[in-house]
Amino acid sequence: MRIDTHVNLKPYHTFGIDTHASQFTRIQHRAELNLVLQFYTQYQPLLILGGGSNVLFTKPFEGLIIKNELKGIRIKKRLKNETLVEAASGESWHAFVCWALKHHLYGLENLALIPGSVGASPMQNIGAYGREIKDVFETLEALNLKTGVIEHFNAADCKFGYRESIFKHECQGQYFILSVTFRLHHQPRVNTSYGAINAVLQSKGILNPSPQDVANAVIQIRSDKLPDPAKYGNAGSFFKNPEIDASLFLKLQQQFPDIVHYLQASGHYKLAAGWLIEQCGLKGYMHDGAAVHAAQALVLINASAATGKAVLELSKHVQQCVFERFGITLQTEVNLL
């Protein structure tokens, strides 16, 4: 593992911010884990970077970045109705979804085209269109950077929540996720609960969709709504959809009858952050090269050589506008560094 110095990070994260890391290296084989542990004691701060699809560098990273390039997918165990599949953490998430569909293993199709790596999926409990990682998660293995021990986590250990896990809070920066095992189904369990998926399927005359049909619909929706990072740097949804109690929701609904909402099993209401931002007139709003995406207000983009600081300032402006209009504080989904 060669350590390079003053490395430009623009190619390594989807926001495409022109900044640098003081030290940078790659891990491609498990045989190099001892070096990772050695680097952990020598270099601080240290960041394990996957696909870079959920991070915003607001300033140069004055430490060591280890780019995770661990690869490999294997069938771990075949059961009567399910198969346990283990994927290395450096695998592309979307490529893994495509692999599963090709091998007639189902449960990931609603999560197609989400950028990033397999290793980041449990960290964020990524989700879209009615599915979350926790729905198909079995276990993960992770290297404890402090003890050097490889530990195993089940779903309860991960403390999954809405775009949350233990790895974003009390264990943040303490583990290097090595692989994730998923429990995938042999028989299709098609989930078209989101209206947008049904609309695409109906437009194509598909009445009995297969998992591949659902994946194709999700890919079309995401491609239509979300900007291509190769053209406009972004990290997908920048903010979480806020969840509020029933009393506050009823007050807001009286004032804003068209407010987009989803009733939760808890009795709370989840609101569409993109709708809240749009009602503030912020679609297309620009600040020093950063912008609120004109087609999807939930996405902030690097429209024209923006700095990470400019994107951060824009996000704070969005939060302030939403709070002033609705009394709701939006929480960021993206990791700010």
Q: Domain check: are 78 and 180 in the same one?
A: yes
Average pLDDT over all residues of the chain: 91
- Whether residue 243 is found in the same domain as residue 326: yes
pLDDT per position as a tens digit, 149-159: 999 999 999 99
Based on the fold, state whether residues 47 and 89 are members of the same structural domain.
no
Q: Is residue 315 part of a domain?
A: yes
Instruction: Mark which of 68, 100, 124 sits at the end of a domain.
Output: 68
Q: What CATH number is associated with residue 34?
A: 3.30.43.10
Q: Name the DSSP class of 74.
A: E
Point out the catalytic residue in the list 117, 121, 237, 315. Answer: 237
Per the structure, the count of domains in the chain is 3
Please check whether residue 100 is in contact with residue 211, taking contact to mean a CB–CB distance below 8 angstroms: no
What pLDDT is stored for residue 93 in this prediction? 94
Task: Assess if residue 271 is contained within a domain.
Answer: yes
Query: Which long-range contacts does 327-330 make (Cβ < 8 Å, 24+ apart)?
Result: 327/248, 328/242, 328/244, 328/271, 328/276, 329/242, 330/239, 330/240, 330/242, 330/273, 330/276, 330/277
pLDDT at 48 over 80: yes
Domain with 151, as residue range(s), is 73-185
CATH number of the domain residue 326 falls in: 3.90.78.10
Q: Can 237 be counted among the known catalytic residues?
A: yes
User: How does pLDDT run across 56-103, given as a tens digit for each residue?
Assistant: 999 999 999 999 999 999 999 999 999 999 999 999 999 999 999 999
Residues 176 and 249 in one domain: no
Is 199 a domain residue? Answer: no
- Per-residue pLDDT reduced to its tens digit, 191-235: 887 778 888 988 889 888 999 999 999 999 888 888 888 889 898
Q: Final residue of a domain: which of 68, 102, 122?
A: 68
% of the chain surpassing 70 pLDDT: 100
| pLDDT tens per residue, range 100-117 | 999 999 999 999 988 889
- Long-range CB contacts for residues 293-296, cutoff 8 Å, separation at least 24: 293/226, 293/227, 293/232, 293/234, 295/224, 295/225, 295/227, 296/225, 296/226, 296/227
At residue 54 the predicted structure's pLDDT band, cuts being 50, 70 and 90, is confident
Is residue 200 in some structural domain?
no
Residues 168 and 247 in one domain: no
Q: Identify the active-site residue in 89, 131, 163, 222.
A: 163
Banded pLDDT at 265 (limits 50, 70, 90): confident
* 49 and 139 housed in the same domain: no
| Same domain, residue pair 46 and 33 | yes
Among 45, 68, 91, residue at a domain's last position: 68
Exactly one of 82, 91, 109, 333 is catalytic; name it. 333
User: Is 131 labeled as catalytic in the residue annotation?
Assistant: no
Q: Are residues 51 and 145 in the same domain?
A: no
Is pLDDT at 6 greater than 80 in this prediction? yes
Same domain, 257 and 324: yes
